[in-house]
Structure 1
């Protein structure tokens, strides 16, 4: 039934070329189907890229590598994702979103297949590289597509759905893989085979998008931020950098951190801790919907800082309950900060460069995911994982407080000064 509705939406839309965004020719029902289908695609892509999270400890034991190698495997994803974002964002605005999204889905399936066949550390690097290319190619176009397909043209709702899909995928991947790895057969194969199956409906969704919704001509250019958006990028970008540094820490090292504090080898427990953090993030985003972008960031940053401080203290006193409490608070703060930052950028982005601008914003987020985690992995080889995570948590908390002070001062200025 769902596939029939998607097919009907495709026929009612602008598939045959022409390439304008959905307009009066597409029914309200058709818009809704394509909008939520795009959200599903975003969710499943991000779910797949985070399936390895609870499996890393097993890979570490099986292939005999260090915590630093683990963080490098994770960061290989970011290292290719960022160039992919920078190339595909501008190109998608020029040639159409569907042209970029279809290859991204097949590359994502290839990454899942590589993980399912992994027999050495090199396979893990290869799988992460393919996943990074796929997400880099898809993130800007998917976020822009959600903005254009939102039936009422509500950019705030589009930003909310995008952030919830992001948090949902980041959280659901570790939860699903942890459960399957602990309780299902073939723990290092079955999660990735399931991901390939879940990508099939996503391909059908993308086939219903306009074949050519070009907004501008593509030309090679270095990454740049429109002058009118630079102050937004400086504040919202830094806030979201800190928020996603916390996500990177949870996705890479927190399952091992949980296992160390709890003394349990249950893979589902580590995945559940990551999922708890991101479920709280998604909940905060839903509850914060409709509030001002600046208000969301100002509410989220102190919660994020408090969660980080609690995380550091939990390691110092070996308290699993405090760790779980820190996870909840940090998740709430991350969700509010992310929603506020994306709402600010999404609302200000010019129509003809929307995918380009959003891709540049996501570069900042993924730098936050990847760069600090490598530092934590390096420090962990010298002082141990618990101490390295504590150093990171205190440093990130200080950054949150600094950004909060800057945002609060800017928020108190008169409107005409903020525009200037």
Structure 2
């Protein structure tokens, strides 16, 4: 299928009206917002429960460890039994995860909350993205991919800002953000109930992840680029608020959350600006920007410059957004209709491995050598890998044009 194709000829008929499409995007936004509410609160949990940066990254890794198996099961399951039957239990798990954080009395509650949130996002990500594609009134898969990525990144950024704002200026800082999330999940559940009860003729059965042969090359390159893009997201979500506090000397919780939100806002704006651009071009332009942002992040720590850190955040966020949109658009356009959520879930699995695995190493190094050193090493290593993936993508793109 051509990268420029915007209409899926094999799509199932979509219901009339646009409200279900945008309402489904709201459900994705709220789910992602809830899972990132803890980001600016970890410093408070560290002080209250007495744990190290390594434990913060392990709490985050527990989320990813549950999320990925959930993704790989829920994607094909929703293709077989319908989106609604998978998404309603996912929303219930998300509400229970927020409740665990609101009631947290020790680190065990934090692990439980993150595990529940991981299961919820794993179950919902592929089906919600597939539902957006099915519900887009004109069948425009490129637009569906854009709305999905902006809603996802918007939720990632909105969570830290909302939690930081409430924690800094409202009562019950470790309770109120999660109560708000539970309330906002109620209309999301009503939206999911309204979705059409589609299902395929086949029966679901457990199977190992497998990518259709005719799209494995695109999946490998886009998956690698998105792995690196979301490794950066993982470090920003878990450790950058503390990194900002170290450079600025400020203990304001909103400032740390705002630094994360700035990166994700730049990511979302870059995606809006990149709409209608060829998917591969987005990745080819985004990877060098991501690498440059990481180099600036390392330098900012070395010279203790908060201003340079903010510049690095803008550059890295812009690169991350372009890489993510390009990768998801490529997968969304090439995935066969009967395995749409299945393939998307596998792609999200690669993406969330990037979120979870590198950050454990950064947390371990931060415990041994200090946070500033750990972030500097991470930034330099991932910048080099971005250049390597960029070279592979450029060669693949050149071969494609030669064949044409």
For the superposition of Structure 1 and Structure 2, which TM-score range results when normalised by the shorter chain? Answer: over 0.9
Q: How far off its partner does 1:400 sit?
A: 0.5
Moved over 6 A (4+): none
Cα distance in structure 2, aligned partners of 1:416 and 1:226: 24
User: Do the aligned partners of residues 396 and 217 (structure 1) sit closer, same or farther apart at CA in structure 2, a change above 3 Å counting?
Assistant: same
TM-score (norm 1): 0.92
User: What residue is the counterpart of 1:175 in the other structure?
Assistant: 161
For 1:383, the equivalent position in structure 2 comes to 369
Q: Residues 362-395 of structure 1, C-alpha deviation per residue, up to 9 Å, x if partnerless?
A: 0000000000000000111111110000000000
Q: Tell whether the 8 Å contact from 1:215 to 1:352 is kept in structure 2 after alignment.
A: no
1:76 matched to which residue of 2? 62
2:84 maps to: 98
CA contact (8 A) 1:299 1:333 kept: yes
Distance 1:346 1:216, change over 3 A: farther
Match of 1:140 in 2: 126
In the alignment, the residues of structure 2 paired with residue 371 and residue 294 of structure 1 have an alpha-carbon distance, to the nearest angstrom, of 26
SS in 1 for 2:346: helix
Distance 1:170 1:22 in 2: 31
- Can you list the C-alpha shifts for 1:11-64, whole angstroms capped at 9, x where unaligned? xxxxxxxxx9544xx33x2xx100000000000000000000000010011000
User: 1:119/1:405 Cα in 2 relative to 1: closer, same or farther (>3 Å)?
Assistant: same
How far did 1:414 drift?
Answer: 4.3
Show CA shifts across 1:296-343 (max 9, x none).
Answer: 000100100000000000000000000000000000000000000000
Question: In the alignment, does 2:298 pair up with 1:319?
Answer: no
Superposed displacement of residue 413, structure 1: 2.0
Matched, 1:288 2:267: no
**TM superposition shift of 1:214:** 2.8
Return the offset for 1:187: 0.5
Q: How does 1:173-252 map to 2 (within 5 A)?
A: 173-214=159-200, 216-252=202-238
Q: Does 1:361 align with 2:352?
A: no
Q: Measure, in 1, the Cα distance between the counterparts of 2:201 and 2:195.
A: 15
**C-alpha distance in 1 between matches for 2:58 and 2:238:** 10
Instruction: Give the corresponding residue for 1:37.
Output: 23
Following superposition, the deviation at residue 416 of structure 1 comes to: 6.4
Specify which of 54, 67, 86 is matched with residue 40 of structure 2.
Answer: 54
How far apart, in 1, do the equivalents of 2:202 and 2:74 lie? 13
Q: Unmatched 5+ residue regions in structure 1?
A: 1-19
Q: Normalization by structure 2: what TM-score?
A: 0.96
- The number of residue pairs the alignment matches comes to 394
Matched, 1:344 2:330: yes
* Counterpart for residue 65 of structure 1: 51
Confirm or deny that 1:333 pairs with 2:319: yes
* Equivalent residue number for residue 144 of structure 2: 158
Distance (Å, rounded) in 2 between the aligned partners of 1:113 and 1:187: 14
- Name which of 113, 123, 128 aligns with 1:127: 113
- Is the contact made by 1:21 and 1:213 (CA closer than 8 Å) also made in structure 2? no
Q: How far is the alpha carbon of 1:173 from its aligned partner?
A: 0.2
Please, which moves more after superposition, 387-396 or 215-224?
A: 215-224
What displacement does 1:225 show? 1.2
Question: Matches of 1:216 and 1:143 in 2, distance apart?
Answer: 21
